[in-house]
Chains A and B, each alone.
Chain A
Amino acid sequence: MLVKFILNGEDVAFDAYPGETLFELLRRNHHTEVKGNNCKTGECGACTVLIDGEPVPSCTYLAGKINGKNVITVKGIGDYDNPNIIQKIFVEEGAIQCGYCIPGIIISVKNLLDKVSNPTEEDIKIALSSHICRCTGYVQQIDATKKLIEIMKGEKK
C-alpha cells in the first residue's frame, strides 16, 4: 500500500507492507537516524519520532496510518552540518554516551521545549521518562535540558 506523508518537511511516498510499523518503513527507506533494534513494544523510546507534533514510538505505529501526516525524525531537527542547539548542548554537557537512545530523547526534549513555556525539573523528568537510557543515568541529560531552557530564556529577553 502506498502511503504519502511529509517527512522532515518533504513530501514522500513509500510502499508499506501489510502490518509494517512506521519504524520498519522508515528504516527500510534508509532513515537509519531512527534507532531501535531494541524493544519494539513502545517501552524504551529509542525509536520516537514526532507525528503531527506529538512524540510517538514509531515501533508501535502502523505505517498504514501515516497517510497525510507530518513526521519529524531527529534529522529533521538538525543534521551534522547544521545541528540544532539541543544537539549541540547535549554533546557539550556529556549527555551522550553510547548515543543509541539519543535521537529519541532529542525528539522528546524538542517537544518539551516547544510546548511548555517554562518547564520545571519535574516536567523535564516526565519528558525523559518515556525513554530508557542505560548509560548516562539521566543526570547530564536533565542538566543539558535545564541549560537549554536558560539559553532560550536569554534569547527571549
Chain B
Amino acid sequence: MSKTVKEEIFIEKKVIGKNVEKYDGLPLAVGNPLFTDDIFLPNMLYGKFLLSPYPHAEIVEIDESEALKIPGVKLILSYKNTPRIPHTTAGQGYPEPSPYDHFMFDKKVRYVGDRVCAVCAESIEIAEEAISKIKVTYKELPYVLDPEEAMKGEVIIHDEEETTGIYDKKRNIISHVELNIGDFEKDFSKSYYKIEKEFFITQPVQHTPIETHIAITYFDEYGNLVVRTSTQVPFHIRRILSRILEFPMNKIRVIKPRVGGGFGVKQEMVLEDVCALMTIRTKRPVRIEYTRKEEFIASRLRHPSKIWISLGADKSGKLNAIQMKVLLNNGGYGTHGPTVLFNSGSKTLPLYNKAESVSFIGDAVYTNLPVSGAFRGYGATNGYFALESAMDDLAELIGIDPIELRKINHIKEGETSPVFEKLGEGREGVVQYIESSALSECIDLGKKIIEWERWRGKRVRNGSFVRGVGMAIMMQGSGIPLIDMASARVKLNDDGTFHLFVGATDIGTGSDTVLAQILAEEIGVSYDKVKVYSSDTDFTPFDTGAYASSTTYVSGGAVQKAGKLIKEKILEYAAKILEEYPEDLKIEDDFVISQLTQKRISLREIGEKSFYSFEQEQIEVTASFVSPKSPPPFAAHFVLIDVDLETGKIIPIKYVAINDIGTVVHPNLAKGQVIGSIVQGLGYALTEELIYSNRGVPLNPNFLDYKVLTALDIPEIIVKFIETYEPTGPFGLKSVAEININGPAPAIRNAFLDATGIKLNSLPFTPEKVFKVINKIKIEVKKNLHN
C-alpha cells in the first residue's frame, strides 16, 4: 500500500468501501418507468425541429402557410415569433464563461444541423409532415470548416451585434489563452534533447448516450412550468430558461428522472427552451426528443483539435521546457469553448511539474461545422493524446525507457505546479499542493501486470501480427475549485431512517448510491436507513450539476457536512432525554449510546419522540460545500496490442488501468466508471469519427457507420486501485468519472510505435489509416533498397 495512506484509512469503515446495492439497480433491471419518456401524459403535443441543410446561410423567407393548413399542426416557432435573447447553451455556473452567441432561433444558420424552426403538432407524424411542407428560402453564404482558415477572418460566423464574451469576432476566435511560466525560448534552446513542434490531430466524436436528448414540459395545477428532462444540469437549465423565456424562476420546476447516459452532452440545453415555449404558448404538455441522427449532428461533440508540442530535456531526461499549442474547432457556436481550451492545458501540464518553463497557447475557433461542447475528459483528453505521445518520442530520442522518463518528471505528493494557479476553467486557477498521490506505485503495479519487460521492444511476430506494448499516465481534477457548489438536506423520520435530498444529478454514475453511503457512514447507520431524492429544482437544494468530476467530491462534501450536523443535533436531543452530555454520546448501529453509562436510545425512538412527545421538532439540517481545491486523481494505463500488418487493424489484447482515486467508496461502481471510460477511450482511439463532406454535411450519423465498440471489440481489461487518503475530500476520496478516458489514445499510439517504429499522430487509428501508413513505409523501404 502507498506510503501516502494515512492513519485515517485504517479506521474501520462500515459502509464506505462496500458494494452496497445500487439504489436504482433493481428498478432499472426490471424496466420500471424511470426515464423522462416513461411517464405518459394525456393531451400531449410533439415538437420537431427543421434543421439547416447548409453550413452557412441567411434565412430569407420561411413560408409556413402549407404546413399550417395540416390538421393537427398547432404552432411553428422561428426567429419571427420567439424572443431574441443572447445566451449560451452551456450548462455552467453563473456567469457562464462561455460566450453569449446563441438565440433560440436566428435569421442565420451556422452549420448543417442548426435550428431553422420548429413545429408543434398533435403527433410526431403530423409534425414531420409539416416540416416537409415548410418552404425555406436561404441565401447561401461562404463557409469555412477549418479553424486555421477561419482565423483569417474572410468568413465571419458571428457578426450579430448582441453577442458578448467573444474574444475576437473578426477572426472567429471565441477564446484565446497565452500562459508563460519562466522563459520557454531560453530553456528550450539550452535543452540537450528536443522534441520540436510535434503535431497531433484529433477528430470529432459524439457521446452517443444510449438515451438521446428528450424533454417533456407541462403546466401543473398551480401554473408552474414543469420541465422533465434528461439533463446533467437541472439547476442551470432552470436559470437559463427563466432568463430567455422571461418566465419567473420560481414558477419553473426542472425534474431530472433517471438519465440514459450523459458523458457531457447533457450539460447543455438543446431542447428544453423550445419545448417549454411550446407549452407556454399552447398550454399543453409537449414532448421533444432527438432522433439518433439529430443527436449526432445537432447536439454536441468532442472538439476536433490540432495540438503542437515542444519538449526540452537535459541529459538525464529531466524536462526543462514544455510548450503546448492548442487549436480547437468549436463549430458554429462557442459553447464550452473557453473552458475546454483552458482545461486542455490545466489538466495536463501540471503532471510534469519538473519543467522550469511552461508555455501554453491556445485558441477556440468558430467554424461552420456542428458544435463541440463538454465531453468526459473535457479538453484533457485531447491534451493527453498529444502530451503523452510526445513523451514517448522524447524517451525514444533520449534512449531511455518511457516509464523511466515519466518517473523522473511526474508530479509527486507534497509538490505543486505553477500551472494550477495560473490556469483554471476559462480564468485563473488556485494554488494547489498535491496532498495524495500514488502515481509512482500505480506505474510500478501496471508495469508488472502488463509484463512490460517481456513485450517491450521485442516486436514479437505471429504471422502478419506484430505485438507492441505502450503506456500513458494522467491526472484530472475533482470539481471546479471555488466555483462548484453543492448542498444537501437531511431529515430524520419517525422510524429512525433518514431522507437525503441532494441537487446532485445521478446520470447513471451511481452517485445517489455513493452519496447515501457517505451519509450513512458519517451518521453511523446502515446504508438501507438512507433514502435519496435527487435533482428536482423544487424539492432538492442547489447543486451545480454532474460535470467536472465533481459529484462524489463536491456533492459528497456537502453530504458529509450535513451528516455531521444532523449527528450533532441528534446527540443534543438524545442528551436531553438520556440526561447526559452530548460529548459522551455516539451513534452506533441505529442507537445513540452513552460511552459513560451505556444508556441507549434507538434512533426510531428519537424520531418518534421528536414528532409526537418531547421538545417536538423536525430534526433536520442543510449544508453546502464549495471545493477549495480540485485534488487530482491519478492513473497509469498500459496496453498490449497486436497490429495486423496485412489489414492495418490494431487489436488491443490486454488493457491495464491502475488508479489512485483516494478512498474507494463503492468498488463495483468505481470499477464500472473506469472500464466505461476506457472503452469509450478505446473507441476514440480506434474507430469513432464523425465524417463530413466538404460542405460540412455529416456523412455517418448512425450506429451502422459510426462505430461504437461492442462487447466483441474489447480487450481483457484489468482495473486496480491503489488507495490513498485525500485530506480535503469526504472520507479521503477523489474523483473517478473522467480521468480514464484520457489514456487509451496515447497508450495505443505508443504501443503502435513500439510494435512498428511508426508514429501515428492523427486519431482515430482506423485500419484504413494504419494500413496506408504501413504501406507507405514499405514502399519507401523498397525504394531505398533500389537506390
Contact = CB atoms under 8 A, between A and B. Distances in A.
Given A43-B704, A46-B210, A134-B210, A94 B22 contact: yes
B317 interface: no
A131 B210 CA distance: 10
Contact of A98 (B26, B259, B714): B259
Contact of A40 (B30, B263, B292, B507): B292
A38 B263 contact: no
A136 B211 contact: no
B30 A100 contact: no
Contacts of B289: 37
Most chain B C-beta atoms within 10 Å of own C-beta, residue among A94, A103, A124, A131: A94
Contact of A136 (B19, B258, B676): B676
A100 B711 contact: no
Interface string A80-114: 10010001101111101111111100100000000
Given A83-B29, A90-B29, A140-B675, A41 B711 contact: no
B304 to A, nearest CB: 20
A37 to B, nearest CB: 5
B199 interface: no
B210 A100 contact: yes
A98 to B, nearest CB: 3
Most chain A C-beta atoms within 10 Å of own C-beta, residue among B26, B32, B292, B704: B26
A96 B512 CA distance: 14
A102 B28 contact: yes
Interface residues of B, number: 56
A118 interface: no
Contact of B292 (A38, A97, A98): A38
B702 interface: yes
B770 interface: no
B345 interface: no
Contacts of B95: none
A94 B22 CA distance: 8
Contacts of B28: 96, 98-99, 102
A101 B703 CA distance: 15
B717 A99 contact: no
Given A38-B210, A80-B30, A139-B717, A94 B669 contact: yes
Most chain A C-beta atoms within 10 Å of own C-beta, residue among B19, B37, B510, B710: B710
Given A98-B261, A129-B710, A43 B210 contact: no
Contacts of B182: none
Nearest to A100: B260
Interface stretch (A26-34, A61-69, A148-156): A26-34
A30 B672 contact: no
Interface string B167-208: 000000000000000000000000000000000000000011
Contact of B678 (A125, A132, A137): A137
Most chain A C-beta atoms within 10 Å of own C-beta, residue among B25, B680, B704: B25
Contacts of A90: 25, 29
Interface in B635-657: none
Nearest to B669: A94
Contact of A41 (B212, B214, B703, B708): B703
A133 interface: yes
Interface string A6-49: 00000000000000000000000010111101111101101000
Contact of A37 (B211, B702, B711): B211
Q: Is chain A's interface secondary structure helix, strand, loop, or mixed overall? A: loop
B27 interface: yes
B703 A33 contact: no
B736 to A, nearest CB: 13
Nearest to B676: A137
A32 B258 CA distance: 14
Query: Which size bracket describes the interface of A in this complex?
Result: 35 or more
A98 B507 contact: yes
Interface string A120-143: 000011101101111111111110
B710 A132 contact: yes
Contact of B210 (A74, A101, A142): A101
A78 B30 contact: yes
A136 B26 CA distance: 16
Contacts of B38: 32
Contacts of A39: 292, 702-703
B34 interface: yes
Interface string B4-41: 00000000000000010110111111111111011010
Given A74-B31, A80-B27, A100 B717 contact: no
Contacts of A38: 210-212, 292
Contacts of A83: 26, 29-30
Given A37-B37, A83-B29, A87-B26, A94 B668 contact: yes
Nearest to A89: B29
Nearest to B37: A37
B259 A96 contact: no
Interface in B706-743: 708, 710-712, 714, 717
Most chain A C-beta atoms within 10 Å of own C-beta, residue among B38, B289, B291, B676: B676
A126 B208 CA distance: 21
A103 B292 CA distance: 19
Contacts of B767: none
Contacts of A136: 672, 675-676
Nearest to A138: B711
Nearest to A124: B711
Contacts of A58: none
A40 B291 contact: yes
A133 B292 contact: no
Contacts of A41: 292, 702-704
A36 to B, nearest CB: 9
Contacts of B389: none
Nearest to B261: A98
A74 B672 contact: no
A92 B19 CA distance: 8
17 contacts: A30-B40, A33-B33, A41-B704, A74-B29, A83-B30, A96-B22, A98-B211, A99-B29, A129-B710, A129-B711, A131-B710, A132-B208, A132-B708, A134-B208, A135-B261, A136-B675, A137-B672
Interface of B: 19, 21-22, 24-35, 37-38, 40, 207-212, 214, 258-261, 263, 289, 291-292, 507-510, 668-669, 671-672, 675-680, 702-704, 708, 710-712, 714, 717
What are the 10 A-B residue pairs with the smallest beta carbon separation, nearest first?
A98-B508, A33-B31, A99-B28, A94-B668, A100-B260, A137-B679, A91-B25, A128-B711, A137-B675, A43-B703
Given A102-B28, A132-B708, 11 more contacts: A40-B292, A41-B703, A91-B21, A91-B25, A94-B668, A100-B35, A129-B712, A135-B210, A135-B261, A135-B508, A138-B679
